[in-house]
Amino acid sequence: MAKKIVSALSLNMADLASQPNGSFNWSVLTVQGAATLAQSGEWTKEVGHEDIARIAAGELGVEALFARTDIKVGAGDMLLVVQYTGSRLPAGTSVLPTGAKIQYVLVTVK
């Protein structure tokens, strides 16, 4: 079972050939709940957007979340999704623009 902190969830992450059927369960977390998980040290940090990674790391109280990798998931894996909602971020942003937000979602792959 892998545990990954990521910035998105896509069907491209699933191995559809070997697991043609599956599902995802998710629950939205508070920042404090997400921080508790992220600080446990059990999570691979694979947030692919550098600015979102920097902002989320500050909110969660963890070091460097940024890493561009090809993410694959399978049954039993858990993802802590850093879900950004808002306008496109200017490069180098360190503060969310007005009206933008980050939600933390815990996803379990079934």
Query: Domain span at residue 31?
Result: 3-10+21-109
Residue 90: pLDDT band with limits 50, 70, 90 = confident
Average pLDDT rounded to a whole number, residues 47-68: 95
Q: pTM to 2 decimals?
A: 0.92
Is 16 contained in some domain?
no
Q: What does the angle CA 85 – CA 90 – CA 91 come to, to the nearest 5 degrees?
A: 115
Does residue 15 fall inside a structural domain? no
CA nearest 72: which of 49, 54, 46, 50? 46
Please state the rounded mean pLDDT for residues 75-80: 96
The answer as to whether 75 is a domain residue is: yes
Number of folded domains that form the chain: 1
